[in-house]
Structure formats: C-alpha cells, structure tokens
Chain A
Amino acid sequence: MIAYLIRRLLWALPTLLGVNLLVFALFFVVSSPDDMARAQLGAKRVTQEAIERWKADHGYDKPLFYNDNAQGSKQFTDTIFVQKSARMFLLDFGKSDLGRDINHELYARMWPSLALALPVFIVGLFVAIVAAMVLAFFRGTWLDYSGVIACVVLMSISSLFYIIAGQFIVARTWNLVPISGYEGGLDSIRFLALPVLVGVIAGLGSNVRWYRAIFLEEIGKDYVRTARAKGLSEGAVLFRHVLKNAMIPILTGTVVVIPSLFLGSLISESFFGIPGLGSFTIEAILMQDFAIVRAMVFIGALLYILGLILTDLSYTLVDPRVRLQ
C-alpha cells in the first residue's frame, strides 16, 4: 500500500510536467508574447517599440528555451520556459502581468474561497446522501419517481439561474442577507449563507440521482439478500450494509475535489463579490492577465492530482480489501 502511494506520488511529477508543457505550449507557442503585449496594451495600432518595452518590463523579452546572450547555466535558466513556466514547480509564481504579487494574492484569497467551498461541499454531500437514501428506501413508489423527476429538472437549470434567483428572492425581495460582499470573521456567515445555499441546491440534482443509482445497484447485490435473509429490517440493511459499500464509489467521485476546494468557485464568487481565488481568476481572464491564468491552471492541476492521491488514501479507510493487501 505504501509502495503504491509512493508510486502515485512519483507519477504525479511527470503529469505535472505534462501540464506545465501544455500550458507553455498554449501561451508561448500557439500565441506569442507579442500577442499578449498587444492584447494587454489594448489599442488597435501599437508601435513595435511599445510592445518591446512591455515585454522587457514583464520579462517576456527572453528567448523561449536557450539564451545565447547569457553565461553558464543562465543560458538555460534565463529563458521564458524556466522563468515563466518551470519556476511554478517551486510554487513561485512571480509577478502577474499587471504587477500583482501572485503568491501573496493566492495566500490572501485562498481562505475566503475555502470558507465558501467547504460548507458547500460538506452540506451538499450530506444532503445529497440523505436524500438519495430516502429515495432508495422508498424505491418504486411515487416519492421515488417524483424525486427522480425533480432531480432531472434541477440538473437542467444552469447554475447561473440559481445564483440570480437566489440573489433576487432571498437577498433583494426578502432582504434576509446582503446581495453580495464579504467580511472576515463571524460576519462572514451573513455573507456566505446565501452562496452556500445556492451552491448546495445547484449541485443537488445530479448528485442525488447519482447516489441513488449507486444505492440501488448495491441493493441488488447478493450480500443484501443475505442480510435480509438474516432477518434484518430494511433500515438496518440500508444503514449497516448498503451505505458502507456504497461509500466506495461515492468516495471516488467526491474526495478528488477536496483539495480543489481551495480554488473556490468561479461563478459564485464573482456574483457574490467574495474575494476568493475564483473571482481572482475571472478578473484575470477578463483583464487578460495571463500570468495569473497560467498560475491558476498549474495550481488547479496540482490540487487535482493531490485529490487523486487522497482518493486512493480514502479507499483504505472504507475498503478493507485495499487496506489489508
């Protein structure tokens, strides 16, 4: 098991390297620093000088892979690839194209993101599992039937509508919470209540339907028949036997996102004015601050790979077959 985890960790490196190369190719091969400068400087007719100046200011004036003008190892390190791309492996993201210190921003904005994403994740998971178990318990009845229909309808509504409707009804019409904004400390509850509610509802449809299907699949298995043949009640069968087995497939889909919770959510944060990493990313995209986009892509991949490793770890908690072999 430990050897397996070490292998997974070692595998993460080439994957991250691949991500790094892919991003590098996208940003510096498909387009070029000149394009970026032009996009950044905005005006239709920019002089070549202005472009060169912008590139020099932002460190994009170096060659891509090999620097003829430099000495020694600098021939390789003083290049765009190393300075702008490979350096991210050291978690050093440098300055953004608009001059912001990315590492500093990351640290400051991580916590509001987590404050929103974590409750959404936990409450959402809990509500979805409970609802799915209720549907599974009443399987084949009108409750189940209408529950599934409701799930499909919930799934068919864009998350944007949930946010807009939530803001309109809860914040604007009922005046229960502020429409948007954020403050640290206990005050944050006031600001986070609505985004959390909206986030939970937006994810409910697909999750409940998926978990219900997992429960039903488990219920059809032989060990459930054995449990019934022992004289267990339906509730005991569901809670003692089915739930534990169903947690295995449920975990595959959920644990993997836990590290990514730090990234926050793009849409929700910018609608509700929460200064997290999601709104940070959106701002960067809208302002064409490519250094931030590159950094976020890399971090996103890093956290996802971390999530995969966590998933493997979590198996050992629920599945004795994995733990003991």
Chain B
Amino acid sequence: MNQAPAETVLALRELSMHIDSERGVVRALDRVSFEIRAGETFALLGESGCGKSMTALSLMRLLPPAGRVAGGEVRMGGRDLCSLTEAQMRRVRGGDLAMIFQEPGTSLNAVLTVGQQLGEVLAIHRGLKGEAARAEAVALMKQVGIPDPERRLNEYPFQFSGGMKQRVMIAMALAGKPKLLIADEPTTALDVTIQAQVLDLMATLQREQRMAMMLITHDLGVVAKMAHRIGVMYAGHLIEEAPRERFFTKPAHPYSVKLFEALPEGHRQAGKLATIPGSVPPLTTDFIGCRFAERCPHAWDRCRGEAPSWHELGEGQRVRCHLYDAIEAGRLASRSGAAEQAAKPATRSGETLLEVEQLQVHFPIKRGVFQRTVGQVKAVDGVNLSLRAGRTLALVGESGCGKTTAGKAILRLIEPTGGGARLGGADLGALDTKSLRAIRSKMQMVFQDPFGSLNPRLRVAEIIDEGMDALGIGGDVATRRERILEIMRLVGLRPEMADRYPHEFSGGQRQRIAVARALAVSPQLIVCDEPTSALDVSVQAQILNLLQELQAELGLAYLFITHNIGVVEYLAHEVAVMYLGRIVEQGSAEEVLKSPRHPYTQALLAAVPRADLSAAQANGMPPLKGDLPSPSNPPQGCHFHPRCPKAADACRQAYPERVALSSTHTVACHFAR
C-alpha cells in the first residue's frame, strides 16, 4: 500500500441519524465522521445493533420510515448528499454509490429475470437500451464470474444458488460504475467456501476498477482478509479508526481488544475466552459518559461522567478512550495485567457413551400424479460416530450437509431410516415409546436460534421445569423449584429471573436458559446444534466458556454441530467433517485441524478467514470452485469430485473407502494413502 494519498471519495462529517420509536428517539448514529479514499476498502466493524447498517442506509438515504438525518453531512464529489433533492439523490444511488446487501436470497425481485433487474440499472444510469444493454449485461455477468451469461440473463433469481445470487447483486452494483461500493455483511448468509469465492471476487474487482469499498461486517476474519482501514462502531458511535496493520497488531480501544480476545480460534486453546459482560446499551439511552463504560474492565469515574474525545495515536490510528489521554498515562501502563487468562478447565474422559452406526435418514421425493416416490434425499447416509463421556465431538460441515438432521436422528426427534445409535449400551432405535421416554433424560439438545427455542408464553422456571415434570423426575414441586434455582446459578442466571418471560432476556441469556433446560434432567449427552451461531462474538465466548465449565464439572459429552471452525478449534476433542450426508474425515481435533487429509477438509480450513494478518497473507490456496450439490442428486462416485482440485477418474467412478491413518484418524478419499 505504497500509493500516493488517493483522493477522498466520500466523507462523513458528524453525521447523526435518529429514529422515532415508541420508546423514544433512537440515536442510531451519533456524530459519526470518517473518510473513504479511492481504491481503498474501509471496514466498519462492530457487534449487532451498533449502527453499522444504519450508517450505510444513511449514506444512501434509504432510511426506515421513522428515520431522519439529524445533523452532519455526507460529502461526495463536492456536494453534500444530505442536501440533494430526492430526484438528484436517485441519480447518485446505483450510480456513484452502489450497495449490496446481506441476504442475496430476498434482495432480488423473485418475479423479474436477472436480465431485467440488471437492465434497469443500465437504463437509468448509463442510458443503455436493447442490444447495447444486453451486451453490457453479459459483460458484467462474465466479470462477476457467472458462467453462461447469455442464457442465465433470462433466468429468475430462484434458479441461482446463494453465492450466484450475491454475484448477481454485485453485477447490479457494478452496472452503474460506482465510485463507492457499500457491502453490508455481503457474505454472512453464505457458506464458508462460497464466502471465500465471493470475497475473492470482490477484492479482485476492487483492485481492477480502483473503486472504493465500504465493507460492513462483524467478522474479524473478513476484515483481516479485505480491509485497508478499519472503523470500529459501538452503540451508534465510531470509537476507533486505524489502518489494518495497526489494528491487528495494536488494537487501542478496550472494546476492540476484547473483540480479539473473545475469538475462540486455536491460539486461545489454552485458556478461557475473554468475554464482555452485559450487552450493547439501548440506543434510546441519553449517554453522558463513554458508552462502553458499563462493560469496560478499565472504566473509572471519568469514563462514566465524561464522553471521551478523539486521541490520535499516530500512523492514522485514533481512538475515543480516556485511557489514551496524556494525563491518564499511568493507567495505560497498568493495563496489561487485565489480559490475564484463567486456565482452561481440564476435562476427564470416560467410557464410550454414544455410538452411532450406519445412521441413515432418507426423505422420499414424491412426484407425478399419484405422488410416487421417485427418489430419496439422502440427508444422512451412513454416518458412524463414537463419543466418550466428558468429551466433545464436533460435527462440522456446510449448510445442507445433513449435520443437524444427523443430530436430531440420534435423539430420535427424526426417525432414522436405517442404522442407529447406542447410548450407554441401550439401542435407541429399538426402544418403544415408554423406554425411549425414560432414556430421554440422558440425552438433550440445545438449539441454534435463541429466539425460537424458548416458548415465549412460559416463564423461565416453567421452561426449565418442563423436562423434570414430563419425565417425572426431581421430586415434588418444592424440590424441583430448589433444583431449578440451583441450575440457574450453575449457568450464570440470577434466581430472581426465574419468574420472568423469555422476551426480557438477551440472546446470550436465552441460550443460558436453553442450556439450563437441558441440564435440569441431568443428561450425559447434549447435542448442541450451532448454539452460538446467532450470537455476537463476545456473547459467544460466554456460552463457550459456560459449556466448557459444565463439561469439566459434570462430565458431559457434547455432540457439537457447527460450521464455525474457530469454535471447533477451541472446544472440540474430536472432529468429524461431513459432506453431503457422509463423513469424509474424522479424527482427533489435532489430527483433523492440523494435518487435514481430505481435500474438502483442507479447502474448508483454508476458506475460513482468519483474524490474523500472517494467516490471511500466508493462505495461498485458491477457494473451492462451484456450489454444494443438492443432496437429492449427489454426484456419482466421490461426492466431492466435481469441486475437488485433485479429482481423477477413480473419483468419478467409486465412492472412496474409508482409510485409517491412525487409530483415530480416518479419511474417505482415494488419495489418502
């Protein structure tokens, strides 16, 4: 990045945006200023509810109905966007300023062809019609890497995969030749391997067109991979701004520091994760001091009484924090002590608890006049797993690979088509309703969505009590109440919360309630289905710590279903990688993560963006090509061969045998030997 200082494309000056709501004025943006220069990627980083997306929508002047710009200006090309008329602003939108959104699935109009939607931009901003427009559209589609563009222009969005839809969105954004592209969490809804493709594409396009980009994300890995400069937002306020190298080597604001420490990635395997207590304050608050003071480990009186102003730290880094005020120099020096980490609790492993053999879940595909079964979706197709007490087995895979179905089939929430599971010696598949009910207390599940997993009509105590009540354990009402309170303490909930309703709790607290509900019946096995994927990093760390502690204390076994490799690194003892209903590689965490042998595992690990500059640069492996095939019609031979860089004839013909590389490590690949 040794370029001459490029011209400023866009500059925010003290921009404020307020939304009128029933609970008062929401200050979604509070005096935010930053600049974006040509050819530069500026990343806006923060947890959910910090005002990142609102910043983007304010720039575009696409505010929600009750929203209004309350002050400041947005300078672009010598004018203030806020003072333009709506008609002038329309020339800017999609022209100089283009935007792509988080959910490519819903952001495209389902009943217009891709060509029509692309053509609109060309007609408005480039005046292209007819053949010229079509030729340009084809060129754009080629540019974003959509094969066979002539044909695909006449197709509708539902005929595109998620990654392809996002490419179409990018093509639409590029169609107006924008000076600045705003990308609002462009890859959050995509799988890791697809995310890698799209991020690569965006980086390439940006380099070629010397376009400025504003990347909104919560993912430090994506930031490390893409950004030149970073702005950290917290509660509608910009609290730190730094170039990439500075930010990743010396994050200044305590919040930024915590974000790094809360990441569960491998290098933290030794200790407990750092967490940020509490949650982002509501934006209706009238802030007096620093907005982060409530959650900050360093906060003192001044932080609560006086809002910090900007402190320049050199090399383009600046921060809003009293710690960096010259007169507080002493405090900064004593700060290092706070980074101390408690040791990760030791776990003891025991007998083999869960054994899954040849588990199959097939869903029939029915077609035709009489709904005959014409095929099977082999969601889970012969899965073998084994898990010892006190250990964590991570079942890793991308969406649609069948990992959640496998987890539910083990618990018999879905009836398996074939094979089965044994829990502590009892064959779960052979049990009748009554004995199955009896054994249900031994195995429990924690679900992904903290908002869908608690009945909003029940109080917390009733939710936790449900299992004990249904299974007839835990004694009479009074003893059960005792136990409920005890378990609530165990998962870090205060006893007075017992009689509240779920809507009063934050996502992290809800997930604690869900864990408590499972724990109430004293299970030996808990199937965790992506329990942290809907949570912010700092909250995720709290839940991971909790799970870790509970395992050490109670000797629980976890079947941990996830797509998040960072979480796997932190938590798992063993790892099984799933692709299209089958396990392609299995072994101890050390074996699978450090020396993956299956090309899919390798690609998956390489595709994960690392919040680490060295890793981001060292990773030379090109992203996987193509999309995840449909499990209703998996490729012949090895399921992975169409996307595999090593694929040979043998791969096209036969599904590879499982090869044992060590007593624990097995791989299903023709090249494993």
Touching chains A and B, CB distance < 8 Å: yes
How far, in angstroms, from A91 to B62 measured CA to CA in the complex? Answer: 59
Q: Quick check: is B618 within 8 A (CB to CB) of the other chain?
A: no
Q: Are B172 and A223 in contact (CB under 8 A)?
A: no
Q: Are B121 and A230 in contact (CB under 8 A)?
A: yes
Contact of B158 among A240, A245, A321 (CB under 8 A): A321
Given A3-B369, A244-B112, A231 contacting B107 (CB threshold 8 A)? no
Q: Are A225 and B120 in contact (CB under 8 A)?
A: no
Q: Quick check: is B368 within 8 A (CB to CB) of the other chain?
A: yes
Residues of A within 8 A of B156 (CB): 320-321, 324
Residues of B within 8 A of A318 (CB): 111
Q: Are B94 and A244 in contact (CB under 8 A)?
A: no
Q: Are A319 and B111 in contact (CB under 8 A)?
A: yes
Q: Quick check: is B357 within 8 A (CB to CB) of the other chain?
A: no
Q: Quick check: is B90 within 8 A (CB to CB) of the other chain?
A: yes
Q: B65-79 CB contact bits vs A (8 Å, 1 = yes)?
A: 100000000000000
Q: Quick check: is A7 within 8 A (CB to CB) of the other chain?
A: yes
Contact of A228 among B93, B159, B369 (CB under 8 A): B93
Q: Are A231 and B124 in contact (CB under 8 A)?
A: yes
Q: Quick check: is B95 within 8 A (CB to CB) of the other chain?
A: yes
How far, in angstroms, from A181 to B478 measured CA to CA in the complex? Answer: 79
How far, in angstroms, from A260 to B159 measured CA to CA in the complex? Answer: 36
How far, in angstroms, from A314 to B176 measured CA to CA in the complex? Answer: 36
Q: Are A324 and B159 in contact (CB under 8 A)?
A: yes
Residues of A within 8 A of B176 (CB): 230-231
Residues of A within 8 A of B101 (CB): 222, 225-226, 229
Q: Which residue of chain B is the closest to A10 with respect to CB atoms?
A: B369
Q: Quick check: is B471 within 8 A (CB to CB) of the other chain?
A: no
Residues of A within 8 A of B109 (CB): 223, 226-227, 241, 244-245
How far, in angstroms, from A6 to B371 measured CA to CA in the complex? Answer: 11
Q: Are A233 and B90 in contact (CB under 8 A)?
A: yes
Q: Are B158 and A225 in contact (CB under 8 A)?
A: no
Q: Which residue of chain B is the closest to A227 with respect to CB atoms?
A: B109
Chain A interface residue count, CB cutoff 8 Å, equals 27
Minimum Cβ distance to chain B for residue A21 (Å)? 24
Minimum Cβ distance to chain B for residue A143 (Å)? 16
Q: Which residue of chain B is the closest to A222 with respect to CB atoms?
A: B106
Greatest chain B CB density within 10 A among A140, A248, A321 is at: A321
In the complex, how many residue pairs between chain A and chain B have their CB atoms under 8 Å apart? 87
Residues of A within 8 A of B172 (CB): 226, 230
Minimum Cβ distance to chain B for residue A100 (Å)? 40
Residues of B within 8 A of A244 (CB): 109, 111-112
Q: Are B94 and A230 in contact (CB under 8 A)?
A: yes
Q: B150-161 CB contact bits vs A (8 Å, 1 = yes)?
A: 000000101100
Q: Are A230 and B93 in contact (CB under 8 A)?
A: yes
Q: Quick check: is A45 within 8 A (CB to CB) of the other chain?
A: no
Contact of A231 among B94, B108, B159, B368 (CB under 8 A): B94
Q: Are B368 and A3 in contact (CB under 8 A)?
A: yes
Q: Quick check: is B593 within 8 A (CB to CB) of the other chain?
A: no
Minimum Cβ distance to chain B for residue A224 (Å)? 8
Given A320-B158, A321-B156, A324-B159, A229 contacting B120 (CB threshold 8 A)? no
Q: Are A229 and B62 in contact (CB under 8 A)?
A: yes
* Beta-carbon contacts under 8 Å, A185-234 to B: 221-223, 225-233
Residues of B within 8 A of A3 (CB): 367-369
Q: Are B62 and A228 in contact (CB under 8 A)?
A: yes
Residues of B within 8 A of A10 (CB): 369
Q: Are B106 and A223 in contact (CB under 8 A)?
A: yes
How far, in angstroms, from A3 to B366 measured CA to CA in the complex? Answer: 11
Given A223-B107, A231-B121, A320-B156, A241 contacting B112 (CB threshold 8 A)? yes
Q: Are B108 and A226 in contact (CB under 8 A)?
A: yes
How far, in angstroms, from A318 to B106 measured CA to CA in the complex? Answer: 18
Q: B623-649 CB contact bits vs A (8 Å, 1 = yes)?
A: 000000000000000000000000000
Q: Which residue of chain A is the closest to B175 with respect to CB atoms?
A: A230
How far, in angstroms, from A244 to B159 measured CA to CA in the complex? Answer: 18
Residues of B within 8 A of A232 (CB): 90, 94, 120, 124
Q: Are B120 and A230 in contact (CB under 8 A)?
A: yes
Q: B95-119 CB contact bits vs A (8 Å, 1 = yes)?
A: 1001101010011111111000000
Greatest chain B CB density within 10 A among A223, A231, A244 is at: A231
Minimum Cβ distance to chain A for residue B76 (Å)? 14
Residues of A within 8 A of B112 (CB): 240-241, 244
Q: Are A140 and B65 in contact (CB under 8 A)?
A: yes
Given A222-B103, A225-B101, A231 contacting B92 (CB threshold 8 A)? yes
Greatest chain B CB density within 10 A among A10, A222, A324 is at: A222
* Beta-carbon contacts under 8 Å, B27-81 to A: 60, 62, 65
Q: Are A231 and B369 in contact (CB under 8 A)?
A: no
How far, in angstroms, from A6 to B368 measured CA to CA in the complex? Answer: 9
Minimum Cβ distance to chain A for residue B141 (Å)? 16
How far, in angstroms, from A236 to B316 measured CA to CA in the complex? Answer: 44
Q: Are B99 and A229 in contact (CB under 8 A)?
A: yes
Q: Quick check: is B210 within 8 A (CB to CB) of the other chain?
A: no
Given A223-B107, A226-B108, A229-B94, A7 contacting B124 (CB threshold 8 A)? no
Residues of A within 8 A of B94 (CB): 229-232
Q: Are B110 and A223 in contact (CB under 8 A)?
A: yes
Residues of B within 8 A of A231 (CB): 90-95, 121, 124-125, 176
How far, in angstroms, from A225 to B64 measured CA to CA in the complex? Answer: 10
Q: Quick check: is B169 within 8 A (CB to CB) of the other chain?
A: yes
Q: Which residue of chain B is the closest to A242 with respect to CB atoms?
A: B109
How far, in angstroms, from A61 to B172 measured CA to CA in the complex? Answer: 76
How far, in angstroms, from A233 to B87 measured CA to CA in the complex? Answer: 8
How far, in angstroms, from A140 to B87 measured CA to CA in the complex? Answer: 20
Q: B577-618 CB contact bits vs A (8 Å, 1 = yes)?
A: 000000000000000000000000000000000000000000
How far, in angstroms, from A221 to B112 measured CA to CA in the complex? Answer: 15
Q: Are A321 and B110 in contact (CB under 8 A)?
A: yes
Minimum Cβ distance to chain B for residue A76 (Å)? 29
Residues of B within 8 A of A319 (CB): 110-111
Residues of A within 8 A of B125 (CB): 231
How far, in angstroms, from A3 to B106 measured CA to CA in the complex? Answer: 29
Minimum Cβ distance to chain A for residue B61 (Å)? 9
Minimum Cβ distance to chain A for residue B59 (Å)? 11
How far, in angstroms, from A245 to B156 measured CA to CA in the complex? Answer: 13
Given A140-B65, A223-B108, A245-B111, A230 contacting B124 (CB threshold 8 A)? yes
Residues of B within 8 A of A230 (CB): 93-94, 120-121, 124, 172, 176
Residues of A within 8 A of B169 (CB): 226
How far, in angstroms, from A3 to B169 measured CA to CA in the complex? Answer: 35
Minimum Cβ distance to chain A for residue B120 (Å)? 6
User: Given known contacts A3-B368, A228-B93, A231-B94, what 16 new A-B pairs fall within 8 Å (CB)?
Assistant: A3-B367, A7-B371, A222-B107, A226-B107, A227-B120, A228-B60, A229-B62, A230-B120, A230-B121, A230-B172, A230-B176, A231-B93, A240-B112, A240-B120, A241-B109, A320-B111
In the complex, 14 of the A-B residue pairs with CB atoms within 8 angstroms, ordered by the A residue number, are: A3-B368, A223-B107, A225-B101, A226-B108, A228-B60, A230-B124, A231-B95, A231-B124, A231-B176, A241-B109, A244-B112, A245-B109, A319-B110, A324-B159
Which A residues have a C-beta under 8 Å from some C-beta of B?
A: 3, 6-7, 10, 140, 221-223, 225-233, 240-241, 244-245, 248, 318-321, 324
